[in-house]
Each structure stands twice: as structure tokens, then as C-alpha cells.
Amino acid sequence: MLEESTKPYDIDFARSMVSSAERFLIEFGPSAILAFTFSDEISLVFLDLPFGGRVEKIDSLVAGFLSAALSLELHRLVCMDCRTIPLCQEEIISYLAERQDETWRNHVFSYGFHMLREEGLNEAQAMEKLRGLREKEIHELVFRKGINLARTPAWQRRGVIVCRKEGKVAADWDVPLFSAKEGKAFLRETIGSPATGK
């Protein structure tokens, strides 16, 4: 069961992002093998390039599909952009680990920004204060306010994976750390080995 969230995180928005990613894996023609989502970002992994690898087609259709799916989820119009990053299959785990590292940085920054806003700083002042702080210092600021970031819900710290399990698309809200042994094994199982793709 998911833990309900309070500011700076919005569980309803997170569920909408995950639902949009699930919909993509279910309904989009040239299916991706997995989606990784955090904040307002969805990373999709394709082992077989759709549309003959035409980047402009991939970018436009993926952005269009996810914009439409998220708009339906949120009941308001939203636009998503897209970029295609070519990788060798061996590089996928490192790429996802980098995105998960960004999830943590975003997590620390979001809580720090929220704490400063609660202290009465306006948005510009809070941003300026955070610019001068290292990640460790922001973490300490939040801890002094009574929040241990290591104990916040896993989906906030590590993101959510959407993939096919036993023929069905499912979301995992409690993923391991991708840079750790357990996380690498988790991704290898999901992505398959470079030699076989299985």
C-alpha cells in the first residue's frame, strides 16, 4: 500500500504520471520495455527502435501520446516534451541509475525548497538560498525541521518503474537502488541480457 504524501509531493500527480506510463506500455504501438518516472519526467526504454529509428517521429509521437494521456488523467491540458537518447544495451542500467540519482537530488531540493517557503521566504528568496547550499546542507536543513529524507516513501526518493510482469503491465513503487547490486539485478531481469535481449 502506498503511503500518502504531503507537500512537497502530490500522490495524485504521481499516480497520474504512473498511469500515463502504464497506458503508454499498453496502448502505444511500438511498445517500450519499461518506463521510469519521477517528478514530471518519464524515461522510456526501447530495445527495438520504433519507426525505423526516425528520431523526429519518435519524439513527436511519444510526446504527443504522453501529453494526451496525462491530460486525460489530470482533466486539464498539459504538454510534455521529449528527447531521444541512443544507448547501447549495456549502457541502459547506468543511464537509469543516473536518472535515479537525479530523483534523489530532486527529492532533497524539493523538501528544502518547501521548508524555506514554510519559513516565510518567497519563491525567489528560497531559490537563491538553495543555490548557495550543498546537497548535504539542504539535507541537514530538512532534518532540523524533523524530516528524515531517508525515511520518506521510496517512490519519492527512488522513482517508480512500470514494466511487464507475467504478461501484464505493472508499476513498482518500491524499487531498489539501481547503482547497488540488487538494483542492477532487478534491471537486468527486466531489460534482459545484451546478447539475447531475454
- Residue 132 pLDDT: 84
Q: Residue 35's domain spans which residues?
A: 11-87+156-177
Is 197 a member of any domain? no
**Axis crossing angle, helix 92-118 with helix 135-144, rounded to the nearest 10:** 50
Partnered with residue 35 across adjacent β-strands are 44, 162
Does residue 110 or residue 29 have the better pLDDT?
110
Calculate mean pLDDT across residues 161-181.
94
Is 3 a member of any domain? no
- Residue 1 pLDDT: 40
- Same structural domain, 19 and 83: yes
Is 55 a member of any domain? yes
Share of the chain above pLDDT 70, in %: 93
Does residue 52 or residue 174 have the better pLDDT?
174
- Same structural domain, 124 and 168: no
- Same structural domain, 65 and 103: no
Per-residue cell: 196: 539475447
- Same structural domain, 148 and 101: yes
Amino acid in position 102: E
Is 34 a member of any domain? yes
Contact 93, 87 (CB under 8 A): no
- Same structural domain, 41 and 82: yes
Per-residue cell: 197: 535481449
Give the contacts of 195 (CB within 8 A, at least 6 positions apart). none
Long-range own/partner contacts, residues 92-95 (CB < 8 A, 24 or more apart): 92/45, 92/187, 92/191, 93/178, 93/184, 93/187, 93/188, 93/191, 95/43
Is 192 a member of any domain? no
Is 133 a member of any domain? yes
pTM score, whole prediction? 0.91
Per-residue cell: 105: 537530488
Is 184 a member of any domain? no
- Same structural domain, 147 and 171: no
User: E strands within 39-182?
Assistant: 41-45, 160-165, 168-172
What is the CATH classification number for the domain harbouring 42? 3.30.70.3000
Classify the C-alpha dihedral 16-19-21-27 as positive or negative: negative
pLDDT digits (tens, 9 = 90+) for 63-107: 999 999 999 999 999 999 999 999 998 999 999 999 999 999 999
- Residue 195 pLDDT: 42
